[in-house]
Chains A and B, each alone.
Chain A
Amino acid sequence: MAFREDQIARYSRHIILKEVGGRGQEKLLSARVLVIGAGGLGSPVAMYLAAAGVGTIGLVDMDVVDVSNLQRQIMHSQATVGVPKVVSGARTLSRMNPDVTVVPIQDRLTAENAMELFSGYDVIVDGSDNFGTRYIVNDAAFFLKKTLVSGSILRFEGQVTVLEGHTGAPCYRCLYPEAPPPGLVPSCSEAGVLGVLAGTIGTLQAAEVVKKILGVGELLTGRLLLYDALSMSFRKLRVPKDPHCALCGPKATITTVSGSSEWVCQMPAS
């Protein structure tokens, strides 16, 4: 692939990095990344991937922009309140970088559509807001052997990990075998979230995606990064593969993507 003059200028700070170079930039330009959730986490993920020149970015979200989103969902703006998030997001990304093809998918991710949606992408990013979706994303990514970069936020804390169950590394079910029962959990809007936390965690996810595409550095595979904004602390914990995992263990019982997304985002809380 030959770079145009404007591309050499645009990506010059990447190209001079020996870990990226012209070849790495070509990899980015031909990469296809699917972002689940075009909200708090999806915004910084998609914006940094677009800026980096990731060639195709799919956005999956069924919601429209609400004014209460704007405290943290920086891909959207006052001008796009009421507009579908994937449309608002696609506008922002295309304005940032015309090299990027944005695929807006205004739909809820379900057990029925996940496999087909994921099949055209290299890396999957989970920035969703409920446990039901997280297990669907995990299972579909595992069956399709896709790397999944998972991030989640609540109040002042965030978690990031890279899930590659298909390589012998842990999957989301190894980390959390089951979702909290829906009846026990308050909604996201009740629990609250520090706006900038979405930026911190989403940007870390974007870094992992770029590293995966480039094949450089060490990913958070088999490790869980915890960030606490109040104490400004980062910690990394080891996540073992669960030999009893129902999805990726030797005696797996889950053979297809199933389950439903429901709107819960928290453990039983006080």
Chain B
Amino acid sequence: MSVVVRIPTPLRKLTGNQGEVREEGGTVREILDGLESHYPGIRERLTDEAGELRRFINIYLNEEDIRFAEGLDTKVKAGDEVSIIPAIAGGAR
């Protein structure tokens, strides 16, 4: 299944400045595997040592947060859009 993955600006240095990439996979976890193989170093930004999604990163499948679905095992289908949404805190300084 080929899905579009949206990359937030803080991670675009790892994707050669691309804001959108395509990856293959049947679950979000497989999509992250694909990302890591094409853009080494990106996985550790997203998951911790145990392979769990970091708690200041959200991954959305289309409009829904995968934490409230089946997490990294959430199934994806062709044409879906996966978005990586990091917490950001800038504002005053």
Range for the number of chain B residues in contact with chain A = 20 to 34
A176 and B58 contact, Cβ closer than 8 Å, known pairs A230-B19, A267-B86? yes
**Residue interface bits A167-208, CB-to-B below 8 A is 1, else 0:** 000000001111110000000110101000010000000000
A84 interface contact, C-beta 8 A? no
Chain B neighbourhood of A188, CB < 8 A: 90, 93
Task: Give bound CA distance, A63 to B93, whole Å.
Answer: 9
CB-nearest residue of chain B to A68? B93
Residues of chain B within 8 A (CB-CB) of A69 are 93
Question: Are B10 and A129 interface neighbours, CB within 8 A?
Answer: no
Report the minimal beta-carbon distance from B85 to chain A, rounded to whole angstroms.
7
Segment with Cβ contacts to B, from A1-9, A92-100, A234-242, A251-259: A234-242
The answer to whether A157 touches B91, judged by C-beta atoms less than 8 angstroms apart, is: no
Chain B residues 27-58 with CB under 8 Å of chain A are 41, 44-45, 54-58
Instruction: Give the CA-CA distance A38 to B92 in the complex, in Å.
Output: 6
Contact of A240 among B9, B65, B92 (CB under 8 A): B65
Cα-based distance from A264 to B10 in the complex (angstroms): 14
| Chain A 33-86 residues near chain B, CB threshold 8 A | 36-42, 61, 63, 69
Q: How far is the CB of A121 from chain B (nearest CB, A)?
A: 18
**Given A177-B55, A267-B10, CB of A237 within 8 Å of CB of B90:** no
A266-B83 contact, Cβ under 8 Å, with A155-B9, A230-B19, A240-B68? no
Check if A224 sits within 8 Å of B88, measured CB to CB.
Answer: no
* From B8, B58, B64, residue with most partner A Cβ within 10 Å: B8
How long is the Cα–Cα vector from A2 to B81 in the complex, in angstroms? 54
Q: Contact: B88 with A39, CB < 8 Å? A: no
* CB–CB A179/B87 < 8 A: yes
Chain B interface: which of A16-24, A146-154, A209-217? A146-154
Contact A130/B41 with A154-B10, A176-B55, A178-B55 known, Cβ cut-off 8 Å: no
Closest chain B residue, CB of each to CB of A42: B92
Q: How large is the interface on A (under 10, 10 to 19, 20 to 34, 35 or more residues)?
A: 35 or more
Smallest CB separation, A5 vs chain B (Å): 38
Residues from 101 to 157 in A contacting B, C-beta threshold 8 Å: 126-131, 133-134, 151-157
Cβ-defined contact, A127 with B19, below 8 A: no
- The answer to whether B63 touches A267 (Cβ under 8 A) is no
| Bound-state Cα–Cα, A189 to B90, Å | 10
Closest to A73 in B: B92
**List of B residues within 8 angstroms of A159 by Cβ:** 85, 88
* Contact status B55-A154, CB under 8 Å: no
> Are B55 and A193 in touch, CB under 8 angstroms?
no
Nearest 4 interchain pairs by C-beta: A37-B92, A39-B92, A270-B13, A267-B86
What are 16 A-B pairs with beta-carbon distances under 8 A?
A37-B92, A40-B90, A42-B91, A63-B92, A128-B91, A129-B93, A130-B89, A154-B9, A154-B10, A157-B88, A179-B89, A235-B83, A236-B63, A240-B65, A265-B88, A267-B45
